[in-house]
A and B are shown apart, each in its own frame.
Chain A
Amino acid sequence: MPPSDEGIQNIDRLIHEPSRLVIMMHLYVVESADFQFLQHQTEMTPGNLSSHLRKLEDAVYVEVTKEFWDRTPHTALKLTKKGREAFKEYRRNVKQFIDKLPE
């Protein structure tokens, strides 16, 4: 019998995209990080990272704060409460869906 795809529609496609999933995973385990740290961790180009961050910011999953440190611009990134909840739910849904597969 072919596996059922029931439940796949519950998976958040905004998070499911691999690059954004990596961003969300990194931000999930920390309180906050800056753009440069995330760029090193994800090994994305600045443009690519910015573009994905903008999508996550538009969905209010990520909060972007721009500030100055020693007169140098600094971008701090953190998951919002909504983003953290969405990631938890995504994790649950993926696990449920995968767990349905026979061995």
Chain B
Amino acid sequence: MSYHQDGLIDIIVGLYALAFGLGIVADKILDFSFAVIMPGMMIAIVLPIWLAAKRKITMPRIGYVNIGAKGSNKIFAVFMGLAVASLGAFFLFTLATFQNGRPEWIETILFQYGMIWIGLGAAVIGSLFAYTMGLKRLHAYGLLTLALFVSGYFLAFPFEYLLILVGGVIMACGVALLVQFIHKYPLQKGASDNAAQ
């Protein structure tokens, strides 16, 4: 049994991608930078909802576990790796965008194949989290994103609609998992403490 079989993490990730895609669409229609403020807004709104949902839906059904330092260290190492990789990517991006006389090949690699990079990034991040959290379905989400973005690149499909599609699929999987979880582990009376006194 995994602590993430409730599908909540899928709903959050899906919602995040969906909101980001919708933010870009709104940018284009309303000429307001929703996509810039969306990540912050989502963290501020979604994180407390996720924590509350864990407490109200998951814990009363399967209980609570603290995985401790060993598990946390593994997740921390992945986050640190991602942070360093993001910093490197940001440095390269800055170099390619703002430096005068930048090499053309950097521009080509970064911008022309941007969709493929995003797909590859999603596949790598998905695999890292799948390994860290022991959730095989994250591999599938990463590969789905890669497949959609690569085909989107060749079919010249707009980035934001692909993001909405990926977010929608992941969120739908999350909702299906949540429904399955609720049926599999119905709420029992006095579930939070069954210990015989």
| Nearest A residue to B68, CB-CB | A31
Q: How many residues of A contact B (CB 8 A)?
A: 26
B62 at the interface (CB under 8 A from A): yes
Write out the residue numbers on chain B whose beta carbons fall within 8 Å of the beta carbon of A35.
63, 193-195
Write out the residue numbers on chain A whose beta carbons fall within 8 Å of the beta carbon of B191.
36
The listed residue (A31, A36, A51, A66) touching B63 by CB distance below 8 A is A36
Interface residue ranges of A11-56 to B (CB < 8 Å): 30-41, 46-47, 49-51, 53
Q: How many residues of B contact A (CB 8 A)?
A: 17
- Measured in the bound complex, the distance between the Cα atoms of B194 and A49 in whole Å is 10
Report the number of A-B residue pairs with Cβ-Cβ less than 8 Å: 67
Inter-subunit contact B67/A37 (CB<8 Å): no
- Measured in the bound complex, the distance between the Cα atoms of B71 and A46 in whole Å is 28
The listed residue (A34, A64, A73) touching B64 by CB distance below 8 A is A34
Write out the residue numbers on chain B whose beta carbons fall within 8 Å of the beta carbon of A36.
62-64, 191-194
B69 at the interface (CB under 8 A from A): yes
Write out the residue numbers on chain B whose beta carbons fall within 8 Å of the beta carbon of A53.
195
Inter-subunit contact A31/B1 (CB<8 Å): no
Inter-subunit contact B63/A39 (CB<8 Å): yes
One digit per residue, 1 when the CB lies within 8 angstroms of any chain A CB and 0 when it does not, for chain B 66-78 equals: 1111010000000
Interface residue ranges of B7-24 to A (CB < 8 Å): none
- Measured in the bound complex, the distance between the Cα atoms of B64 and A62 in whole Å is 17
Inter-subunit contact A34/B63 (CB<8 Å): yes
Residues of B within 8 A of A (CB): 1, 62-69, 71, 185, 191-196
Across the A-B interface, give the 7 residue pairs with the lowest CB-CB distance, nearest first.
Answer: A31-B68, A37-B63, A36-B63, A50-B196, A73-B193, A46-B194, A75-B195
Q: List 9 A-B contacts (CB under 8 A).
A: A30-B68, A33-B64, A33-B66, A35-B63, A39-B194, A46-B196, A47-B196, A50-B196, A74-B193
Given contact pairs A34-B192, A50-B196, enumerate 18 new A-B contacts (beta carbons under 8 Å). A30-B65, A30-B66, A30-B71, A33-B63, A33-B65, A34-B63, A35-B193, A35-B195, A36-B62, A37-B65, A40-B63, A40-B185, A46-B196, A66-B195, A72-B193, A73-B193, A74-B192, A74-B193
